[in-house]
Chains A and B, each alone.
Chain A
């Protein structure tokens, strides 16, 4: 009896892959293995709605139990894969079971980078990745509390906005001289910085944590400049690391996560990897190897990996795209801004604007748009199509508000 398809990691990406296998008519066995207890759910609301909703929050599931049942997807919750035997094509699970596979997908995601201080594991410190993490933090950020947040990246700042909405005091500590250094143009970071300050968030940039100490009912955060912040809770959001241990122990190639080729295949031809856990070559940037941590990538790669497990042989071609919400502001970024050498600004209505990132040769390589709600969505979407086509749009046309971006697609 053939082993069928096994998927390790039941997040956005793994769940999407399982559903895609069935959508494409695969009728062998599909087993989805996840170490969390919930049905597969989406993470973006964890730092946003889940923190601030007045009603008791519920996870936003990728699909409900019935959908998995109807499609005969065997979903093992609370189960970890602990070893892969690539030669035997089988995986070992925490319940001591051995599961054979024909093709295996690793969609193990990423985990919060830990602060290398013993006290960071204390009860007054928290990391955010799972729904259970989110519930715990939600319970601790009520009005009157003082919350310190380490890390001025997307998740740290989304948390800052949510904590302010809940009425607690917020101090954000960022080691680098400004917030959002990774992939966000300074012009946009400055506006987001000002928006946080206008809400009363205390932003301390250029400071690192030297030590953590327990304090009466809280935690003392000692900074490298000698100053001390006393908080009820310290949220540590200093990035994420790919979950690749299982792959590494199985001897698969590792390079900033599980290394895959353009078809999302690992160094073992029967094992694929997708989503936050893998790095892959992006053809539109000359094969540059990247690892993305965003919703759309998890969705797209879950779909693509499933298709390729069924033999489609397609290459990853989507343009990276992500969004972040802070207060009423939404930032959307398509492409890789650090590929750009020159910025062209296009102003839209009500203060919304887009920065187009152009390479030396005039090629559009990224677009960063900031506005209220979805004010920039249409234009960023067209920019994404231009990026995919490796277009070299006329910078003056991009900047002119009267230019319909769609018209540039025809050029």
Chain B
């Protein structure tokens, strides 16, 4: 396991129950803040087409893709049904000194 924690954004840069896009090293990720102020990270693009999930709506534990409403649980990455069938990769996240850190492999 690498211990390569990357600073993604300030904790308050994401609103509660919302998501922002984070680009790093030529890749794109989505960083989430739940209604309970827990933070999560997944790959940034939908597994159906190459669409940025950060433009989608967060409701409870679900991120909904803005293109065809494919739904994923952003805590686990699980695809919740058609048209998405491939799960999302998730990444460990921690908050330190008001910063959101993501562990990218």
Contact = CB atoms under 8 A, between A and B. Distances in A.
B57 A382 contact: yes
B55 A378 contact: yes
B47 to A, nearest CB: 14
Contacts of B83: 299
Given A16-B82, A303-B82, A406-B17, A377 B68 contact: no
Nearest to A380: B66
Interface in A57-116: none
A167 interface: no
Contacts of A23: 81-82
A295 B56 contact: no
A378 B92 CA distance: 26
B33 interface: no
Contacts of A378: 55-57, 66
A23 B80 CA distance: 13
Contacts of A16: 82
Main secondary structure of the interface of A (DSSP, over half): helix
A377 B82 contact: no
A299 B68 contact: yes
A374 B69 contact: no
B55 A296 contact: no
A19 B56 contact: no
B82 A373 contact: no
B17 A377 contact: no
B66 A381 contact: yes
A274 to B, nearest CB: 15
A299 B51 CA distance: 18
A374 B57 contact: no
Nearest to A374: B55
Interface string B49-90: 001100111000000101111000000000001110000000
Contacts, number: 38
A16 B83 CA distance: 9
Contact of A377 (B15, B66, B81): B66
Interface residues of A, number: 17
A378 B69 CA distance: 11
Interface string A229-265: 0000000000000000000000000000000000000
A16 B68 CA distance: 14
Contacts of A20: 82
A163 interface: no
> Which of A299, A303, A374, A375 has the largest count of B CB atoms less than 10 A from its CB?
A374
Contact of B55 (A299, A375, A406): A375
Nearest to B66: A377
Contacts of B15: 404
A295 B70 CA distance: 13
A20 B81 CA distance: 10
Contact of A295 (B55, B64, B66, B68): B68
A348 to B, nearest CB: 12
A381 B68 CA distance: 11
A406 B81 CA distance: 24
Nearest to A16: B82
Nearest to B54: A374
A78 to B, nearest CB: 25
A406 B60 CA distance: 12
Contacts of B52: 373-374
Given A16-B82, A303-B82, A374 B68 contact: no
Nearest to B81: A23
A381 B57 contact: yes
B67 A374 contact: yes
A41 to B, nearest CB: 13
A103 B98 CA distance: 59
Most chain B Cβ neighbours within 10 Å, of A296, A373, A378: A378
Nearest to B49: A60
Interface string A299-310: 100010000000
Contacts of B56: 374, 377-378, 381
Contacts of A296: 68-69
11 contacts: A295-B68, A299-B68, A299-B82, A374-B52, A374-B66, A377-B57, A378-B56, A378-B57, A381-B64, A381-B66, A382-B57
Given A296-B68, A374-B51, 13 more contacts: A20-B82, A23-B81, A299-B68, A303-B82, A374-B52, A374-B67, A377-B57, A377-B67, A378-B55, A378-B66, A381-B57, A381-B64, A382-B57
